[in-house]
Structure 1
Amino acid sequence: MERVTLRIPKQQIEEVERMVETGEYPNRSEAIRAAVRDMINEDNSERRDKKRPWARA
């Protein structure tokens, strides 16, 4: 796994921390990894639908 440094607005980090505190995620890193996975999966789904417009129904 590679380390990535990024800047995130304080309000968003506070929301991530809240998800960690409530047990939704074990830590901030896993919460952010989940968000990236969701973004990639959504993008892949949109690309797949564009290739097969009939699959939207």
Structure 2
Amino acid sequence: MQRITIRLPEQQISVLEKMVDAGEFPTISEAIRDAVRELIEKRANRILSDSDQLSF
């Protein structure tokens, strides 16, 4: 797994922290990974003509 750095507005970070505190995710990183997975699943076919090019 590679590390990336992102910048988010304080309000979004606060919501992510509340989601972790509520037990929806173990960490903020996992919440963001989940969001990225969901985005890729929804939009990957728009970019790739052959879905076999992606490995999840």
TM-score normalised by length of structure 2: 0.76
Where does 1:1-57 land on structure 2 (aligned, <5 Å)?
Answer: 1-44=1-44, 47=46
* Larger Rg, first or second structure (1 or 2): 1
- Structure with higher helix content: 1
**Identical columns (%):** 52
Q: Give RMSD over aligned pairs.
A: 1.0
Q: Which runs of 5+ in 2 are unaligned?
A: 47-56
Question: Stretches of 4+ moved more than 2 A in 1?
Answer: none
Q: How many residues align?
A: 46
